[in-house]
Chains A and B, each alone.
Chain A
Amino acid sequence: MTENVRLAEILLVEDNEGDIELTREAFEEAKFRNKLHIAEDGDIALDYLFKRNGYENAVTPDIILLDLNLPSTDGREVLEIIKAEPMLKRIPVIVLTSSQADKDIVESYDLHANCYIVKPVNAMKFMGVVRSVENFWVDIVCLPSVNN
């Protein structure tokens, strides 16, 4: 790995403190290659992505981990807005939620989610899933270079 390799910027949109902590810890081992940003509700996520209301200096993320059930603006709406915005629509959005409802799965893919993952209840498994996501989307997948 050369020194000028840029860190992968990951935006986690999540309101549950426990899940934030587990994601942080899962990413800790791979922190030399990525940087985790947290948005605790839908409005903050949109402010971050559109660089407004105090997030003017935010870095456009390479991937987004999105919970569906959020306070204020719902995750589904956040997804819809991201995928309708030319500047953001290429960013892979990984829906990471506790909902196993078919309706949510179908709706998320219809809204162009890049994949849908149900959060495992078990904490170790949860961290394993987050590590797999990181490994796959940061290491294996070829992402468009962010050019803004």
Chain B
Amino acid sequence: MSTTLAKQLANAQRELATLQAEYDEFSYIVSHDLSAPLRQIEGFMELVVANNTDSFDDKTKRHIELVLGGSAQAKQLLEALLSYSRLNAATEPYTLLDVNKIVIETQQCFSAVIAEKNAVINCESLPNIIGREAQIKQLFSHLIHNALHYQLPNSRADITINAVEMDDVWQFSIKDNGIGVADKFTEKIFKILRRAVPAKKYAGMGMGLAIARKILQNHHGAIWLESEEGIGSSFYFTISKTISRAVAKDLPL
């Protein structure tokens, strides 16, 4: 490498480190300095309620409910944004991951919902991949959660997880028989806090798929879906097959 190039690389790396440090500081400030006043609103409003239960008319009670509801929502939003921003750092090392094991563990996490909904998760033999463990676990957790969650009431979730070997990548698919996604929302649902269905019908923040896409970006992969409303959705994603390819793409040049 020429000295000029080496210098440029060093500069770029320094810049990146500065940005990362600024970013970390910003996240810290947001999480701590913003949650303190929110706690204050909630805490003191609850005290007001506890000390004056009988003295409020219905309108005031409704207003208090809205204050508490609003601050609870702000707190949830804050947590959701933080969980997204924490994914920024590609600090977690790549390791060899057994996807079968990850899927089984995820199923165990959701065992209550699976039992309640009488859901079936069909899982063919899945490969080992090179990835960042916590993020890949989170990826499967969000996708399986969605497949279980976005179901018509009383329907029995039927989910199939599959992987196909391609030239350079593994292509995974998670297929469900849920409510599906209208064509016009297939891009929107991957954006932060954007959803295809209102929270009143299906609880949620609009963060799961944004996080999933970010994780795939961190792994130089892609995520997309094929869906038909009322029939179900298939989410696809790709992951590099080899560590050399994955690590090579992490390098700045």
Contact = CB atoms under 8 A, between A and B. Distances in A.
Interaction A to B:
yes
A44 to B, nearest CB: 8
Interface residues of A, number: 11
Contacts of B195: 71-72
Contacts of B66: 17-18, 21
Contacts of B197: 71-72
Contacts, number: 25
A71 B69 contact: no
A100 B115 CA distance: 47
B196 A40 contact: no
A71 B199 CA distance: 8
Interface in B99-134: none
B70 A40 contact: no
Interface in A21-47: 21, 25, 40-41, 43
> Could you tell me the dominant secondary structure of chain A's interface residues?
loop
B196 A72 contact: yes
Interface string B197-212: 1111000000000000
A125 B199 CA distance: 28
B62 interface: yes
Nearest to A74: B188
B12 to A, nearest CB: 32
A17 B66 CA distance: 7
Interface residues of B, number: 14
A71 B198 CA distance: 5
A41 B59 CA distance: 25
A102 to B, nearest CB: 21
A15 interface: yes
Contacts of B59: 25
A15 to B, nearest CB: 7
B41 to A, nearest CB: 13
A106 B144 CA distance: 40
Nearest to B188: A74
A15 B199 CA distance: 10
Interface in B158-206: 184-185, 195-200
Contacts of A40: 198, 200
Interface in B51-83: 59, 62-63, 66, 69-70
A43 B199 CA distance: 13
Contacts of A41: 198
A17 B59 CA distance: 14
A71 B63 CA distance: 23
B198 A72 contact: yes
A17 B198 contact: no
A21 B198 contact: no
Contacts of B62: 21
B198 A18 contact: no
Given A17-B69, A72-B197, A72-B198, 7 more contacts: A17-B70, A18-B69, A40-B200, A71-B195, A71-B198, A71-B199, A73-B184
Interface of A: 15, 17-18, 21, 25, 40-41, 43, 71-73
12 contacts: A17-B66, A17-B69, A17-B70, A18-B69, A21-B62, A40-B198, A40-B200, A41-B198, A71-B195, A71-B197, A72-B185, A72-B198
